[in-house]
Structure 1
């Protein structure tokens, strides 16, 4: 195979690499050749509203960012447990999970993305903008707030844009985050996790068509959290997708967390509950 130049080509090499030194053999040499161009490519995404798609062009910035996020998801497999015993493998696993171990250290992961202009963000208090629930320790108090117990992988941002949330173990009451739901339900707008099912626009498409998937953009600006800014429908508008049974709180939870976090009579029927909604939450 030719040396990778694009994010998509690098993804293929990372996915197929079977040796023990992924960072030194693949990622570091790639950065030596392509980091400057890749960093410059991503800059327009760093500020909310600076780049907008005016017409579709194959491989535009949203598709490039998506390809880079797939590399991230492969590398994050290093920090995730397997599925619970007896669990049916998710479709994303059958399509994309490598048969071998993908291994990088936390320092290597951060080093790769920091060279591309991303920065680690550490937030002590749980916030679904910054944190993805990877595991739940259930509190005896059903109303106990969600508290971070440990961080499994870091949160990365590119300027104002969220690139990837930190994976965290939390302790919470079941009315706030239910074990087996908040950490095991379908995670939307996400390519791959070792420990849970995921879903994004690439699944089920062919070798080329899957790469027409857009990266979901969330921004933290001076005045607001802006979730899914490229969505076609505001969360308070009438939904054309038949999700009228969801309560306003359930809709907001699904957009903010990207998954169900607690039991609901409405959610089991929804295989893909997060539709094309955008949400703005003013900063306090």
Structure 2
């Protein structure tokens, strides 16, 4: 081999431990600490172990968080049953509607769709006080879903609306959201994205929750969505005109996750400059006296 050929090779040996750490953080972004290291207690929780989580550390913590991992890892006992009589063109359509408890459905979809979904849109309860019913023992199943309307189960187990007078008002919402968002992430392809509608009630918690599950580097944007130009008349203090859509990527470094949308002819004509990052336009500066 000539000296010139030798110079073209990277002669540095592989940093195996660093590669393994990066791969572990890619698989379990929720175990990343503020400094980009691994929180091994969180990793043990993610792998099914129960640990003492009482140590002080940076992150989003709330009562019942450790039980979320148990809810994620508990196998679903349900089954998806086709309903041809309620379907349109059942034998030919490729569309699929699943009706039932969404946590159970997400678990059942893991076997067939894990790592295969390009985009997920979620419109969760906004936690306004009465927009979702919460089982008091932190566990849910298809049976509890069917029992919600009666407020009690076969064994007299109570279910309750999550009112703002409850001492665990935000904790209950987080306990409901964490397993579902965690399982939704597993369904995404490497270039997949999730869009989540939310309003001011839980926007800050969703932002922190999403960054923990997807990784801070995979937060894409929070988009304002106008819902009422005049403002909602029932709001206190300020009549709000907008809600939000938060976007998280499975892997934001994968450029395909947010690009590829066709532009109109007007946009193409207006963005008449181009560089290595793509098309752009130049705007004049305005001075106001």
TM range (shorter): under 0.3
Structure holding more helix per residue: 2
Q: TM-score, normalised by structure 2?
A: 0.25
Q: TM-score, normalised by structure 1?
A: 0.25
Larger Rg: 2
